[in-house]
Structure 1
Amino acid sequence: MIDNDKPQDQAAEDQLQDVTEESPDNGGDESSEDALGETLAALQRDLEAAKQEILYAQAETQNVRRRLEREKDEARAYAATGFARDILSVADNLARAVQAIPESLRTDDSLKGLVTGLEATQRELEKVFASHGITRIAAMGLPLDPNQHQAMLEVPSNEVEPGTIVQELQSGWMIKDRLLRAAMVAVAKKPD
């Protein structure tokens, strides 16, 4: 009888000893030796099969551990994705507000503090984005990249090559190496 608490090698030896003790001593009878050899061979096959199963189980455990570690790293790196997408509209509105301020109001002493505060808020927001791996996609003057840019319209132009971005309608953003939002752009085309 095999004791489940013992290692498999020890259990196999105990089983072999039980078989040798139970078999009557026939003075070296050949059939007894054959039975003993068959039992030994069967135990060795079982032992090899058990070793293989253990190796497969260990490999599977290691694969699961690696996969979970990778998923944990990705979850940590991209945890802010949903929030970042939501806050981009706030950043867009702030940028539009700063751009909409006419130069005459920028120099007006009564509004100078407000303008400075809006610009400082915009810089701080971009700094927070950068600290979380959220970066703006370059667009102006570059060829259209369908992985980062979304062409919204074509503009006839002789000044630049067709397919070159001539206007950014909405900024695009990346979070680390993933696209957060494609830049909406206008691209040049040959005039008719």
Structure 2
Amino acid sequence: MTEDDKSETLDTAGDLREATAEAAPELAEHDRLAELEGELAEAKAAVMYAHAEAQNVRRRAEKEAGDARNYAVTAFSRDILSVADNLDRGLSAIPDELRGDERLKGLIVGLEATKRELDAVFQRNGIVKIAAMGETLDPNKHQAMLELPSDAAPGTIIQEMQAGYMLKDRLLRPSMVGVAKKGE
């Protein structure tokens, strides 16, 4: 190789180094820009995730607050059902001949008025008696206590031992019932 060739090769190598040196900041800047765009995308995703999570927490809190308002009286309602049961039993135990007795008429009228008022309070607070007689057994609302041979379709409720109640859309107490089974 001649001196001119060497000189020319060195010049070309020098030019290449200069071009690389000039391009290196642009490549580094491009890499840095790509890195920053990636970080920005990650940050946006994290913000969107946090926003969605905050909305879910807010919705859950609103639902829990609504349930607390709607169902706060559940324990009290279950307790008062025994009072309603006893009042019903007491009224049904009064024989017809005593209902006509003038001495007991005030007592009976007072007990019946108390029962009507209790039913009105139940209605105002969303406590509803579950229909059972003649219905098909629904394990979500009825509790079968016994099976009785009957001409009714199997699974039909033919006896109610204790009334069941719903509080709005939740079961407060299941109806305790007797269910028809195929006659023997």
On whether the aligned pair clears a TM of 0.5, the verdict is yes
Give 2:123's aligned residue.
Answer: 130
The one-letter amino acid paired with 2:165 is: W
Deviation at 1:157, TM superposition (A): 2.4
Deviation at 1:133, TM superposition (A): 0.9
Alignment of 1:1-192 (within 5 A): 29-158=22-151, 160-192=152-184
Deviation at 1:136, TM superposition (A): 0.4
**3-state SS of the aligned residue for 2:155?**
coil
Structure exhibiting the larger radius of gyration computed from Cα positions? 2
**Root-mean-square deviation (CA), in Å?**
1.5
Give 1:10's aligned residue.
Answer: none
**3-state SS of the aligned residue for 1:168?**
strand
TM-score by length of 2: 0.83
Question: Equivalents in 2 of 1:50, 1:134: separation in Å?
Answer: 50
Question: Equivalents in 2 of 1:189, 1:37: separation in Å?
Answer: 82
Give 2:3's aligned residue.
Answer: none
How many percent identity over aligned positions? Answer: 59
Deviation at 1:171, TM superposition (A): 0.5
The one-letter amino acid paired with 1:191 is: G
Question: Equivalents in 1 of 2:100, 2:164: separation in Å?
Answer: 31
**3-state SS of the aligned residue for 1:29?**
helix
With 182-191 and 96-105 compared, the bigger mean Cα shift is at: 182-191
Task: Point out where structure 1 has 5 or more consecutive residues left out of the alignment.
Answer: 1-27
Moved over 4 A (4+): none
Deviation at 1:163, TM superposition (A): 2.3
